Every structure is written in structure tokens, then in C-alpha cells.
Structure 1
Amino acid sequence: MDAEELLKRYADGQREFHSVNLRGVDLKGANLSEIDLKSADLTGANLNDANLSKALLYDTNLTRASLTGADLRGASINRSKFSNASLDNANLSDSNLESANLTQASLRKANLVRANLGGTNFTGANLSGADLSQANLNSAILKNANLERAKIRGVNFTQKDLSGINLAEADLGAANLRGTNLRKACLQGTNLERADLQQADLMKASLSRASLKKADLTSAHVYGASFKDADLTDAIMPDGEVYKPIACEVEVGKQKASWEKVVSMTRQVIRTDNAPEPVGPYNQAIAASGQMVFVAGQIAIDPRIGQVVYTDDVKKQTEQVMANLEAILTAAGATFANVVKTTVFLADMNDFATVNAIYAKYFPEDTAPARACVEVSRLPKDVLVEIDCIAVI
């Protein structure tokens, strides 16, 4: 079917054009509102400035089609193919693009307000300047997508993989990014005001000039991230403290140093399936940077009396050892959460399970430090257990 026949039938009142072959057809500026093109083939078609509002485009093939400036408001585009298509400045507000394929498509400055993009594949797509406000992006695939200057306020990206994505100068105000992988992402000049970034992975991400006012970065992984000239006013830092800028120039320098300290003390748990799984409350490795604190091996000496206690009770000796370690860490401005490595020395490896049970109370399994445990022929003062540790603050 050619363009002339389609337009004549449409003018005569026909709306259903299922599975028609319209490859390469020129329908620029055509009024095709509410047309039904289910399973039609419009590969390479010219639909620039066409009116396709409320059109039915289920399973339609629009690969390499040009829809620049097209009106697709309220259109049903489920499972359609738009790979390498041009949708620049197109109006897709309130449309349903669920499970559509838009790989390598261009949607610069497209209007996707309130669009259903659940399961939509945007791999390699250019969404720069697009408006995705109130859009449903659940299960959407955004690998290598360009979202520079895009409007995505309040979006839910919980635990989504956005590693390496370009979100420079995008508006992510009040977005839910809890647990989101933003490793090596470009967030330069991005608006992240009031965004939830709890437990987000921001390792080696670039956040220079970003606005993080009142953002929540609790337990976020920011090792190697760049925050140059970022605005962190009233943001909750990874350690739970609220960032308060100080007007005085000298104090500003101190505040900057304080933030750099928070960044430097960040620890990252390293796991790989190519090495044995940890057995007990420890991890394979910890990546950390900052000021290191080397705590000497502690044994069950009660500092109040200066003597070894509980000589025949390995459980109570371990509790005393942990209390001694905690006291030293506190004096250094650290906690057990800052510990990245421990070594446990036992006089008898048969005591391992008992010692491990006490040890586990201080180190949650998912964030526990790296650890070594060895049996030795004899410990100082004939104690049953000795533990040393390394912390980063």
C-alpha cells in the first residue's frame, strides 16, 4: 500500500490497517489520529510532524523511521520497534511504550511526560533534553543511554543499573536512587536536590557542580567520586551527619576538608565468584582509603585491674578483647564500622566457633571486614584469643 491509498481510505473513514506494508512511505505532516496500525511495517517511513495521537501501534515496525516533531499523545505503542528511529521533539505524553524497542533511537527534547515506559529498551538511545516527568520507568533498560539535561524529577530508579550513564545537567530532584548503581556515571551539574541516594554506588562518579541540597547519601559508596564545587547544603552524608556550609572563607576550607574526609573514609566490600565464599562474618576484601589506624593485638586484660581475666572461658575472653578494641577505636575517632581488616589468633582452633559467635555480634556479615584466623602454639600470658585490626577513618 502506498501513501496515496492509505490517506484516501483514511479520509473515507477507515481506521484499521493491520499488518499493512508501508515501508519507506512518505506521510510527512499527515493527520492519522486514532489510526490502527497494529503489526504494520513502516520501516524507514517519513512521519515527520504527522498527527498520530491516540494511534494504535501495537507490534508495529518503525525501525529507522523518522518521526521528528510527530504528535503521538496517548498513543498505544506497546512492543513496537523504534530502533535507530528519529523521535526528536516528538510529543509522546501519556503514551504507552511498554516493552517497546528504542535501541539507538534519537529522542532529543521529546515529551514523555506521564508515559508508560515499563520494560522499554532505551539501550544507546539519545534522550538529551527529553522530559520524562512522572513517567513510569520500572524495568526500563537505560544502558549507555544519554540523558543529558533530561527532566526526570521524582523518578523511581531504585536499585537500577545506571553505571556509566550520562546524566549531566539532568533534573533528578526528589528522585529515588536508593541502592542504584551509578558507578562512573556523569552527574556533572545534575540537580539531585532532595534525592534519595541511600546505599547508592557512586564510586568514581563525577558530581562536579551538582546540586545535592538536602539529598540523603546515608551509607552511599562514594570512593573515588568527584564532588568538586558540588552544593551539599543540608545533605545527609554517608556517615549520617548533616552537611552545614559555613560562610567564613577560612571555615569553608575546613568544611571542604571535612567532606573530603567523609569521602576518604568510605569503604567498599569486594566480592567475586572466582574465589571461595567467606565462611563466617567476614568478606573477601575491602577497598578503602583515608587515614589508617593500626590497632595492636588485644588480649583479655581488664584495664581496670591490669590483669588477664576469665582464664578458662574463651567466650568471655573474646568479649573482653572486643571491648578493648572498641575502646581504642573510639579514642581514634572510629567504630567497628571503620574496620577493614582483622586477624584472630587462637591458642586452640577448636575454640573457633565460640569466638566466631561473639565476633559476629560486632560485624554484620554483609559489611564485615576481611579477616584471617590462625592457631598459634602460645599467646602472651597464656590467653586463649588475641585480635588485632586495621581501621580507616
Structure 2
Amino acid sequence: YTPVPAIKIPPPNPDQEQKVDSVLIRAQHSCIKRSFIWKDDYNSKQILRYIAPPFPLLHLWNSHLLSRVTLPPCYSIDYALKQISVELGGIPTSIIPEKRIGICEEGYDLKSPIQFSKTSSYTNIVKIMKQLYLTKYNMEGKAEIKIIKGGDASSIENGHKGWISANEGIELKFYFIKFITDKSKLNIPIIYIEDQNTNLELDSVTFSDINLSPSDLPKGIIHIDVDNTELIVSDCIFEDISIEGEGGSAIRIENDQEKSFDVTIEGTQFNNINSTGDESEQGGSAIYAQIREDCSLIIDDSCEFNDCVIESGNGGAIYIDIDYSKNFQFKIKDATFRHNKALKHNSKDIPPSGYGGVIFLTGTGYYDVDSNQIDLSGMKSDSNSADNGGNNIYIVMPQLE
């Protein structure tokens, strides 16, 4: 490593506010880029420094100069989580209520799946964000996380449920991040959520040029195994996504155990998504959801679904399976659907396919039309099609009350 030039830093002053902002991970380098913001009327500046062994790293916290340490040679998101515990709690296993990790403008290569949980991450909340997010020094655009599988035949995904998985009730949040890949076909979701009260928030996150090919069951780019789960998706983009193999969706909400969930999707675009229906001809290339008791799915704030196609399935953009007799909400308050398609199977008619160019809505139980639990009044459609019926929507209900 090339030695880092010395930076003159004024001595700590208890009367001045000093803040350590985030750990910033830089891809393709065995180093961590640190940012310290000194708020000083006399000399306000950003101090950026690349740290590489065996050179020291300056730690600042609560307006005190703590120590100089030598960092080990291997850095990753796991390392950053441990280092935050060391800095703020003294040891790698110190529990810190919230941990923030910033991704540098150069991006970060994710070379193997990673898991977040309360016990392994030693925190309740993990926030992953672009460089210096919410400061005046924040980078333009979005920081990239690139999934490096290393080829379609790679076994790196074996034994993992997702490239990024979260469980044990942890809260995982992403801000201004763009997910891309090395063009390999993925066999597991990019983000997988499971266990009670494990929540996910995506704010201004893009998933671009993804090829997912599940080998056993349908999967989602974002896959939620529901158990009292909250999902917030705001101002995100899902674009140029191909889902083959056993099929799936950009966002897949599975609820086989009939647990509750609260999902809000706002200001989000689903563009050019192609998926294959599963063996039962289910579909929804953009969204698949099983809605049961105390479940809520709200789509609002100018969402767009453009060129979403399901092949050999139903529901070009959205497939919803509801127990109509339960207490639930499925509402499209503000969304536009353009050029979405449901294509029938080329060689067989059973199970039926090619219904619901935009939405296929099915389920069990009696539905009370006065309950207003289903409200599609904010749905705007243009040039959608279905091979067998329901260019915009196809609804299957056992009986109305």
C-alpha cells in the first residue's frame, strides 16, 4: 500500500460538535474509507482518508479523541458491523441499537451472501446508504452494490436463502442504493426476509438488469416470508428483470402460515419485467401476494407498471390471492399500468393461463362488497392485454355477499 499523506486535525474541543458519520465501504480495495465531519465555525471541512494496513485509523466519538489502531487486512460489511461495535462499545460483540453503513461512490462488490440478524449483527437496526447520505457532502445519484456470483454454474449460493437475508426481528433499511449483478443467473433472491417482526424498508433503491432463475419454487427479487412483517417501498425502480426457471416476481409476499403483514408501495416503477408462471399458472411479474387476516397492501403515489409480462401464467403485473372472508386491505390508490400482458401456455389449457393483463385476483371465502376492503379506484390503464380474458383485470370470487 502507498502511505497516506498526513492530515492535520485540530485538537478536540468539548464545545464543538464532532460527528462520525458512517463507515464507507469501498469496493475492490482492501481498505475502508472514513469520513469525519468537523462542525467548526472557524474551519468547517470534510476529512476523507483511505486507511490501509499498517497505517492507523483515527476514531472520533462524542467529541473525544479515542485511539489509534491498526486494522486487519480483510474488510466487508460483516467487518464494518463488528467495527462499529468496537468503536462504540469497546468489543466486537457490543450491542449497538442502530448501525449505519455507507457505500462509497465507487461501489461495493458483494461476493458472497450475507445474513443480518439481531444476534449476529449485534444491533436492532441496520441502515445501508449511499456515501454521506443526509449530509451536505452526500454523493450524487445512487451507490452501487454489485452481486458477484462468478458465473451461472457457481455454487456460492448453495445453502443460502438470499444474497442479503434478514431474520430474528431485525430492521433492515436501504437508502439510495442500486443493485446490479455480474450478469450471472441468480438462483436465490437478492433480499430475503423471514421470522416474526423482521422488517424491510427500501427508499430510492434500484434493482436493474437482474436475471433470476429459481431451481425449486417461485422466488422474488425481494422475497418476504410473512410473519407480522412490515415492508415499505418508496421511490424505487425495478427494471429490466427476467425471471425464469420456476418463476417468481419482483416482489413476492408468501403467506402460507396466514400471518399478518403491512406493505406500502409508493412512487415506485416496475419497468420491463418478464416472468414465467409457476406450475399452477400463478403469476404477477411485478407483485405476488397472499393476503389473509390483518394483511394490508397499499399501492399509491404515482406508481407505474410498464411492460410487465407473465408467460404461461395469470396476472401480467400483479397476482393477488385473498381470503375474502378475513379482515384485510388491498387498495390501489394511485398507479398507472401500461403495456402489461398475460400470455397463455402454448401447449396446454389446464390449469388455465393468460388471464388478467394487469391484475389477476383470486381467493376463497365470501366477500362483502360493502366492506370496501378492495379498492381499485386509483388504477389507470393503457394498452394492456390478456390472451384469454381481462385485459386489465380478471377476478375470481366464490360468492359475493
Same fold (TM over 0.5): no
| Bigger fraction of residues in strand | 2
TM class by smaller structure? 0.3 to 0.5
| Bigger fraction of residues in helix | 1
State the TM-score, normalizing by the size of structure 1.
0.40
Bigger radius of gyration: 1
Q: Which has the higher contact order (CA 8 A, sep 6+)?
A: 2
